[in-house]
Amino acid sequence: MTKAVVVFSGGQDSTTCLVEALQNYDEVHAITFDYGQRHRQEIEVAQALAKKLKVTAHKIIDASVLNELAISSLTRDDIPVSNELQENGLPNSFVPGRNILFLTLAGIYAYQIGASAIITGVCETDFSGYPDCRNDFVKAMNHALVQGMERDLLVVTPLMWLDKAETWAMADHYGALSLVRENTLTCYNGIVGDGCGECPSCQLRKAGLDTYNGNKAEILKSYLDKQRSVV
């Protein structure tokens, strides 16, 4: 029996990954982190989606220590999300150490349930300036988890080389485009579905959907070609 753990926020990317995982694994466990994030509604959204999609199990993990340590517009309500980069070249929505912590905790959970894969929706193509969404980072974390737990474990990143339009194509390929569009929370201001339309996350999401809707056949082919090249 194959088992996978999906790092699941209830957003577009992780939901698309979850939909795919349900087609590829016998058991799919979703793990959601409560770190006092700005858009805390995402936890409720993730719970509703996990129930709707009938995952094997859905764990909510207390990761509030991250909120204490990492200052970001996503961990502090009094810091508005900005479209401008900071002096260090990173967006103020970057939460330092977030994916390091999430993949570490997901690895521990995978170890306990005997899962062979951790699936995360990070993406280098549309990585929004976050260094912990890059392929080199994921490879380094994968190596550390294997070395640290003496256990074969693969961190899978289905979206790594897809742009946002191709991510929409992926959801459509699995018959979940409407589900992802209407029921996920990507907006930094906590509005489900198409969101506020103003924050960087909403702008990226909308641009991808508009591009996909404008040329579905070609973009779907591009997505499928990339899938075949990975296999």
State the amino acid at position 206 in one-letter form: K
119 within 8 A of 5, measured Cβ to Cβ: yes
User: 114 among the known binding-site residues?
Assistant: no
6 within 8 A of 14, measured Cβ to Cβ: yes
User: 23 among the known binding-site residues?
Assistant: no
User: 12 among the known binding-site residues?
Assistant: yes
User: 10 among the known binding-site residues?
Assistant: yes
User: 133 among the known binding-site residues?
Assistant: no
166 within 8 A of 216, measured Cβ to Cβ: no
User: 16 among the known binding-site residues?
Assistant: yes
Please name the residue that has the structure tokens 């929004």. Answer: 128
CA 27 vs. chain centroid, Å, equals: 19
User: 123 among the known binding-site residues?
Assistant: no
Helix (H) or strand (E) holding 29: strand 27-34
User: 36 among the known binding-site residues?
Assistant: no
Annotated binding site for ATP, which residues?
8-18
Annotated binding site for Zn(2+), which residues?
187, 196, 199, 202
Annotated binding site, which residues?
8-18, 187, 196, 199, 202
